[in-house]
Amino acid sequence: MKNNKHTPGPWKAVSQGYDIGIMSKLGFQVSKIQGNKRDDFANARLIAAAPEMLGALELCCKYVAEYAEAHECLESFKFYDELAKLINKAKGEL
C-alpha cells in the first residue's frame, strides 16, 4: 500500500462559532464543517478519528494477512481483501 497523503493525525474537532474545524496536532485546520448541530459534531468526531482508524485498519490487515498465510484460511484471505479495499478507499486508491 502506498504512503499516506493526508495530514498526519491525531486530529480533533473544535467548535469555531457556527462551524466546526477539524484541527491537526500542529494546529492546522484540516477540514471544516459548516453547522454546529449535534449531528455536525458527530460527523466532525468521525472525521477527526479517521487517521487513527486508518492506522488501526492497516495494523489489523497486517495481522490478518499473517494469520491467513500461516493457517491457509480462506475466510481470513477474504477478510484481508475487504480490509485492503477499505484502506485503499480511504487513501483514494480505488
> How does residue 1 score in pLDDT terms, banded at 50, 70 and 90?
very low
Above 90 in pLDDT, residue 8?
no
Q: How many CA atoms lie within 13 A of 36 on its CB side?
A: 8
3-state helix, strand, coil in the chain (%, to 5): 55, 20, 25
Above 90 in pLDDT, residue 46?
yes
Specify the pLDDT at position 48.
95
Cα angle 78-6-35, degrees, rounded to a multiple of 5: 100
Specify the pLDDT at position 74.
85
Mean pLDDT of 48-58: 94
Q: How many CA atoms lie within 13 A of 3 on its CB side?
A: 3
Q: pTM of the entire structure?
A: 0.80
Mean pLDDT of 37-52: 91
Residues in the chain: 94
